[in-house]
Chain A
């Protein structure tokens, strides 16, 4: 069962900001709507009150009681607003004297107008009630003027306001989302920069990370540096251990080898000579295998974390040829170098390239008979440089080049020569790490042609 990956920080931050934005958008929507509806209602109330006042002012005492001559303006100001219907009811001492008797009304308020919203007939109306005292025949009469209006205009305004508020809310939400995304991005940028600075490092770069990071990242940074420090110490210990081990094994081997040579000089007995030669060969074989095992481990490690830089193949090939020349001279093998007058620049790991070239040249020298000629040639191709090491040795027999490049695999025809079977797999691995190719084939007329192709910069 795969462990579920925790949500990314950016997404978490973004979603939280989005949540806050959603709540704020809804609040904005509700606020705008409420405030606007209140304002619309207040407007209607004011007109209703003004209308009721106008009626109240037109009321006066007459012979038989009260005369209310409803002024045109009282309804005109209401009608001007919309097609809303208007109802009225006038009461004297709580008895309806004119208008709609069934019109509901708010309880008798104080001095000011009282308002009520109530269903009436098949609709909903807004009602205002205004009280006035009017002296009739020397007695005060409580005059109640009730004016009501349907809420069509009010509802229309409310709908418009709701639309605008919804638009505002959505717009606000989208804008907040966008800004939230940008904010999440920019907040996390230092983290990405830090990650980039760490991951761009070369394989052997174990210096502490000296990167200016915000204070929140400092604990991470110091934890990372602590870890790097421990890793470096462990690697140092391992390197020292390997070096010490090599020293303690190889130095006595060197002594054995030289003492055996001395013993060989001092004997004439053929059986003893054969034994002593076998000892020297065993010493060489173990030393060589140990060296190649270390080289192979180094190549495997470095292939995964290449220390890339400009490499001049012409220079590398010349230097490597020069370094094997004394060994080749001992057996009168001519090393012929060509194509190295022009620099051949590639991007790669110099240590890896050196390891590959050395193994190829070592092989060629090792498998060549005395007095033979080895050609080391460098040439530019289309997008490639190729290096060929051609010898007149015994060739690779029936085996394919690919098979010989397998770890510990040696050709069937090399039993009498010291070797570990790791050399070619080192070359193969270096070629692969550089995006290149390595091939090995028999030459016409005998011998082997090893070809290493590496892409140009």
Chain B
């Protein structure tokens, strides 16, 4: 996905850029509303992430203007303001979702996808590996054209394996990417999910190999 991030704090903006890049997303950063307008003139974005407090104006003004232009790009507000009333107000202005800082990047991506799914319209970016088709946005998986029902976490695990295709992933790495940091999950849980994923992907030309004592790797054509 291609994001436009409107955020005046350079440290946060660079972190978000780096973190989303790890998941294969591109992020353009604008530190003022003016810079944001310039970015939007030059490129098309799947999503706009906007802070409320900006040096040259209010993010809410931006949303109102954006909606007045009848622009289609969804807007998600990233803000330090956590009050329920702020949330209601921002959504009323036409924002698509609202996330309070500090946020979980996995949740941010999930919310972005949910917004895009709700909006429809955006062209899907289907990944094909042998006879496996994976659409991360629509959250669908097909093997030989036949749809497979995968739960959210199984999808995430599949996505992690695909993005690290051919590379070895330790249980710890999988663990950190799959589970929220607030929950304590035993390493055993990873084995359970790998088992489920293998079962659901039966017949696929890619497979998940166990590297004894170290971790897992996706192998295949």
Contact = CB atoms under 8 A, between A and B. Distances in A.
Interface in A231-254: 243-244, 246-254
A255 B5 CA distance: 14
26 contacts: A243-B80, A254-B15, A254-B102, A255-B15, A261-B19, A262-B18, A265-B173, A273-B176, A281-B181, A281-B182, A284-B181, A287-B101, A294-B83, A295-B83, A298-B83, A298-B84, A323-B97, A329-B114, A330-B104, A330-B106, A330-B152, A331-B180, A332-B153, A358-B84, A416-B184, A417-B183
Contacts of B102: 250, 253-254, 256-258, 283-284, 287
| 8 smallest beta-carbon distances between A and B, as pairs | A254-B102, A250-B80, A291-B82, A258-B15, A254-B101, A280-B181, A257-B102, A250-B101
Given A254-B101, A281-B181, A329-B152, 9 more contacts: A247-B80, A251-B101, A252-B12, A253-B102, A257-B103, A268-B170, A295-B83, A330-B153, A370-B153
A255 B11 contact: yes
Contacts of A256: 102
A264 B176 contact: yes
Interface string B156-180: 1000000000000010110011011
Given A291-B82, A350-B88, A268 B12 contact: no
A418 B182 contact: yes
Contacts of B185: 370
A330 B110 contact: yes
Contacts, number: 136
A439 B153 CA distance: 33
A283 B182 CA distance: 10
A291 B80 CA distance: 9
Interface string A96-135: 0000000000000000000000000000000000000000
Contacts of A243: 53, 80-81
B84 A331 contact: no
B121 to A, nearest CB: 19
Given A247-B53, A262-B18, A268 B101 contact: no
Contacts of B184: 416
A135 B116 CA distance: 141
B101 A351 contact: no
Interface in A253-281: 253-259, 261-262, 264-265, 268, 270, 273, 277, 280-281
B7 to A, nearest CB: 8
A366 interface: yes
Interface of B: 9, 11-12, 15-16, 18-19, 22, 53, 78, 80-85, 87-88, 97-98, 100-107, 110-111, 114, 151-153, 156, 170, 172-173, 176-177, 179-185, 189
Contacts of A403: none
A354 B176 contact: no
B22 A262 contact: yes
A321 interface: no
Contacts of A280: 181
B108 to A, nearest CB: 9
A326 B114 contact: yes
A350 to B, nearest CB: 7
A331 B111 contact: no
A281 B182 CA distance: 6
Contacts of B177: 265
A325 interface: yes
B145 to A, nearest CB: 25
Contacts of A329: 110, 114, 152
A326 B152 CA distance: 10
Nearest to A251: B9
B84 A246 contact: no
B216 to A, nearest CB: 14
A259 B105 CA distance: 11
A371 B151 contact: yes
Interface-central residue, B18, B53, B83, by most chain A CB under 10 Å: B83
B24 to A, nearest CB: 13
A130 B206 CA distance: 152
Contacts of B105: 258, 261
- Could you say which of B85, B100, B110 has the most chain A C-beta atoms within 10 Å of its C-beta? B85
Nearest to A354: B84
A19 B50 CA distance: 72
A325 B110 CA distance: 10
Interface in A314-334: 323, 325-327, 329-332
